[in-house]
């Protein structure tokens, strides 16, 4: 029986020879991740189950990233709850306030490899499919059952393969590709499907760029994002993990596979406009829109290449006096690389504010919020009302290059103009 990569991973995880889309399986979990914001709910639910110890402390990863450093007494309490849980359960894969955003830290620290099932109490856990794992977000109650048993039931999803072809034009990036796809199929166009990114354009992308696309699979309703492992995947893993793994690839004639062809050779920079991620327009339609803040960071575009792209544009220029710009590296490793490459000097000299690795304003409850009537241009993944502060504010989404160009002019700016 021919199977997609998603079906093959679930067959392996459930101990079956074959499965097909629509089957309900009980899958063994390889990695279970939670963080400071959702973790306390998982701990509370786990304690109600009455199991004294988690199923495998070495397969659980706990990170602090959403409210780091703690900005309220509630945040402090959450941190204390999780530190206590880590100590009681002997969880060794614990990253306190110093490491950065969970979806950057997990692959950096070698927790994600191809062919595994990765779950996290965060909707953008789908990011890790860029390394060929089936990675998806789950609820805190579901996570408590994973803590107790190491298993979780799933309905095996159908797969939609985006066959992306063409050479990306100048100043057009993976973020523009995935925004364009979301704009085409809508916020519910891939509901509960595995969103597989393939084609020559995907093959030419770095692992970092593939993570951008998989990160936003949830924004089209996807259960996960996936890229089949290749030599770039193997090279990345050589530098980041000691875990053993088996590369799994899907069959092109699998019955549940839907294919959508996309040509990006003439794609212009894309902007997701308020208040939905699928409200996508080419930059030529929204260029000149005044903004109040630029946010460069998040689990979508806070990696070293994003900082390099932005710094190249900002070098020798100043952030407009009419706005503020926040630069938040996705991890301590990214922060250190940016320091060593002199990127931080460029950001500081330009007038940007550089913050510690964390989620920043993305969750709408930490640093860098916007007020009523204010407009944010962000490299993050969501622009719903209130996402970055006031429900009366507006959030536009873009690539790092558009963010940097716009910071200079104080309005949404096409980087090709600069």
Q: Residue 126, annotated ligand binder?
A: no
DSSP 69: S
The encoded tokens of residue 90 equal: 């002997």
Q: Which of 162, 194, 200, 193 is nearest to 178 (CA)?
A: 162
Q: Residue 299, annotated ligand binder?
A: yes
Cross-strand pairs, 197: 162
The per-residue DSSP string of 51-66 comes to: -SS-S-GGGEEEE--S
- CA-to-CA distance for 224 and 253, rounded, in angstroms? 20
Query: Are residues 107 and 131 in contact, defined by beta-carbon separation less than 8 angstroms?
Result: yes
For 265, other C-beta atoms within 10 Å of its C-beta total: 11
The encoded tokens of residue 89 equal: 């359960």
Query: Are residues 152 and 250 in contact, defined by beta-carbon separation less than 8 angstroms?
Result: no
- CA-to-CA distance for 235 and 138, rounded, in angstroms? 29
- CA-to-CA distance for 172 and 207, rounded, in angstroms? 17
- What φ, ψ does residue 306 adopt, rounded to 5°? -65, -45
Torsion angle (degrees, nearest 10) of CA 121, 244, 129, 191? -70
How many Cα atoms occupy the beta-carbon half-sphere of 415 within 13 Å? 25
Q: Residue 359, annotated ligand binder?
A: yes
- CA-to-CA distance for 390 and 370, rounded, in angstroms? 6
Say how far residue 87 (Cα) sits from the centre of its chain. 28
- CA-to-CA distance for 103 and 356, rounded, in angstroms? 16
Q: Which of 368, 296, 304, 380 is nearest to 342 (CA)?
A: 304
**Sign of the alpha-carbon torsion through 197, 302, 41, 27:** positive
In Å, what is the CA distance from 249 to each residue of 8, 93, 126, 201, 227?
8, 29, 18, 18, 9
Binding residues: 299, 359, 362
Residue positions forming the annotated binding site for [4Fe-4S] cluster: 299, 359, 362
């Amino acid at each position: 029986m021919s199977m997609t990569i998603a079906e093959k991973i679930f067959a392996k995880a459930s101990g079956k020879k074959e499965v097909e889309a629509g089957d309900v399986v009980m899958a063994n979990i390889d990695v279970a991740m939670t963080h400071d914001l959702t973790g306390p709910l998982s701990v509370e639910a786990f304690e109600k189950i009455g199991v004294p110890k988690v199923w495998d402390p070495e397969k659980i990863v706990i990170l602090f990233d959403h409210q780091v450093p703690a900005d309220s007494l509630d945040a402090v309490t959450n941190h204390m709850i999780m530190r206590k849980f880590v100590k009681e359960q002997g969880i060794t894969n614990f990253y306190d306030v110093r490491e950065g955003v969970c979806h950057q830290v997990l692959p950096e620290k070698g927790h994600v490899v191809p062919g595994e099932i990765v779950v996290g109490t965060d909707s953008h856990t789908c990011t890790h499919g860029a390394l060929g794992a089936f990675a998806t977000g789950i609820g805190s109650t579901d996570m408590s059952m994973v803590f107790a048993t190491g298993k979780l039931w799933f309905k095996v999803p159908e797969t939609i393969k985006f066959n992306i072809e063409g050479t990306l034009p100048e100043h057009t990036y993976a973020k523009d590709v995935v925004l364009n796809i979301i704009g085409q199929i809508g916020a519910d166009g891939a509901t509960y499907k595995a969103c597989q990114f393939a084609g020559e354009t995907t093959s030419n992308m770095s692992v970092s760029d593939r993570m951008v696309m998989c990160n936003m699979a949830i924004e089209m309703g996807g259960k996960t994002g996936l890229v089949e492992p290749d030599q770039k995947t193997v090279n990345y893993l050589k530098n980041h993990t000691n875990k053993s793994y088996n590369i799994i690839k899907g069959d092109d004639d699998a019955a549940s596979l839907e294919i959508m062809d996309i040509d990006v050779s003439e794609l212009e920079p894309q902007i997701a406009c308020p208040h939905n991620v699928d409200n996508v327009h080419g930059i030529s339609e929204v260029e000149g829109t005044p903004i109040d803040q630029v946010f460069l960071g998040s689990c979508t575009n806070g990696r070293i290449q994003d900082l390099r792209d932005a710094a190249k544009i900002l070098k020798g220029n100043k952030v407009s006096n009419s706005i503020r710009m926040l630069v938040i590296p996705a991890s301590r490793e990214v922060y250190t690389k940016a320091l060593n490459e002199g990127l931080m000097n460029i950001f500081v000299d330009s007038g940007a504010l550089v913050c510690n690795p964390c989620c920043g304003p993305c969750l709408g409850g930490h640093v860098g919020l916007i007020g009523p009537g204010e407009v944010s241009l962000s490299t993050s993944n969501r622009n719903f009302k209130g996402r970055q502060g006031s429900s009366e504010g507006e959030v536009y989404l873009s690539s790092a290059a558009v963010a940097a160009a716009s910071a200079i002019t104080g309005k949404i700016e096409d980087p090709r103009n600069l």
